[in-house]
Amino acid sequence: MKIGFIGSEEIVGSIIKSLLDTRMFSPKDIFVCTMNTKIVKLMKSFKVNVFKETFFVIKNSEIVFICVELNDLENIFKEISPLAQGKIFVSVVEGVRIATIQKYIKAPIARVVFSIPVSVKEGMCAVSFSKDFPEKYKRAVTLMLSSCGKYLEVSENEFDTVAILISAGPVFYAYILSCFVEAAIESGLTKAEAFTLANQTFLGSAKLIFNQRAMYDNLVKKSYSDNYVLDAGLEIMRSSNIKKIIKDTISVIVSRRKLIKY
C-alpha cells in the first residue's frame, strides 16, 4: 500500500516518523506534497517522495491524508476533486465535517484528530468514518493511528467534543504540572528536582491507572496504609471544589468549540 500527505501542518512529520519507525511503510511508499521548507527538509531526511504538486501525491497513493490549514482548504479541495475517484482520504483539518468535505471530494472520508504527544508515539487519536468507507481501509487507517499511540473510533456527533478534549488535554496537563512544580520549588526543591519529581509522578500514575484500570479510590488506598498525611492534602482539594473547576473548564471549551461551524 502507498500513502500520501498533502499539507504543511507539523503533524505530518510526526505521523510519518511513527509509520517509518514501526516499519509499517518504507520511505518509497510515502508521497508528500508540502511547501513548508522545514517539513521538506525533514521529509528528505526520511528519504520519502516529496513534491510541490498535489497531482503526483494523489496519483501514486491509495490513501491520502489532508493536513492543510483552513484558509488553504477550498483551493486544495478544487485540486483534489478531479483526481479523487478510487482514492481514500483522511482529513486532519480541524472542525470540518465529513459531509462538507464530500461536497467537494466524492470519495470515502475519515476524519481524524491527533493530540500533541503523537510526536513521541503516546498520542491520543479519534477517528470517524463516512458511511461509504470500506472495511479494508478502516483496518489500514486504524493500524496507522495505532502507530502514533492509542485511538478511539467515535460517531461524528461526538467528534467535536472528543477532538477538543484531545487537543486541550496536553495543555491542561502542562498547566497543572507547572502548579505542582511551583509548589515543590516553594517547599525547597530546585526547579530541576521539582520538574523530575512531578513529571515522573504524573507519568507513573497515568500508567498505573491505565494498566490496572485503578480508579481514584483504589489509587488513594494504595498510596498510604494510613491516609492521615494524604487526607490533609485531599481535603484542601475537595474544599477548593477542584472538581467543579475542571468540569467548568471542559464545559466552556466544548461549548465554545460548538459555536464554530464549517
Domain end position, chosen among 114, 135, 153 = 153
Specify whether 170 is located in the same domain as 58: no
| All three cell numbers of 177 | 504540572
How many structural domains does the chain have? Answer: 2
| Assigned domain for 219 exists | yes
CATH of the domain at 177: 1.10.3730.10
Query: Could you tell me if 21 and 69 are in contact, meaning their C-beta atoms sit under 8 angstroms apart?
Result: no
Specify whether 28 is located in the same domain as 7: yes
40, with CB counted inside 10 A (0-12, 13-18, 19+), is middle
Domain end position, chosen among 130, 153, 176 = 153
Query: Could you tell me if 24 and 148 are in contact, meaning their C-beta atoms sit under 8 angstroms apart?
Result: no
Specify whether 87 is located in the same domain as 12: yes
Rounded CA-CA distance 113/168 in Å is 12
Rounded CA-CA distance 189/194 in Å is 6
| Assigned domain for 189 exists | yes
CATH of the domain at 60: 3.40.50.720
Secondary element (H or E) of residue 136: helix 135-146
What pLDDT score does 231 carry?
Answer: 78
| Assigned domain for 171 exists | yes
What pLDDT score does 185 carry?
Answer: 97
Q: What is the pLDDT along the chain (262 residues), one digit of tens a residue?
A: 999 999 877 889 989 999 999 898 999 999 999 988 888 999 999 999 999 899 999 999 999 999 988 888 888 999 999 999 999 999 998 888 999 999 999 999 999 998 888 888 888 999 999 999 999 999 999 999 999 999 999 998 888 788 888 888 899 999 999 999 999 999 999 999 999 999 999 999 888 888 877 666 677 666 555 567 777 887 888 888 888 998 998 888 888 877 765 6
**Which residue is it, cell 483496518?**
139
What pLDDT score does 121 carry?
Answer: 86
Domain residues for the domain of 86 are 3-153
| Assigned domain for 144 exists | yes
Specify whether 114 is located in the same domain as 178: no
Specify whether 186 is located in the same domain as 131: no
Specify whether 55 is located in the same domain as 115: yes
**DSSP label at residue 85:** T
Specify whether 180 is located in the same domain as 145: no
**DSSP label at residue 127:** E
What pLDDT score does 91 carry?
Answer: 95
Specify whether 79 is located in the same domain as 148: yes
Specify whether 149 is located in the same domain as 174: no
| Assigned domain for 169 exists | yes
* Residue 232 identity: A
Specify whether 65 is located in the same domain as 30: yes
Rounded CA-CA distance 207/169 in Å is 16
| Assigned domain for 158 exists | no
Report the interhelical angle of 191-212 vs 156-186 (nearest 10°): 140
| Assigned domain for 139 exists | yes
| Assigned domain for 111 exists | yes
Specify whether 168 is located in the same domain as 58: no
Specify whether 115 is located in the same domain as 182: no
Domain end position, chosen among 124, 153, 182 = 153
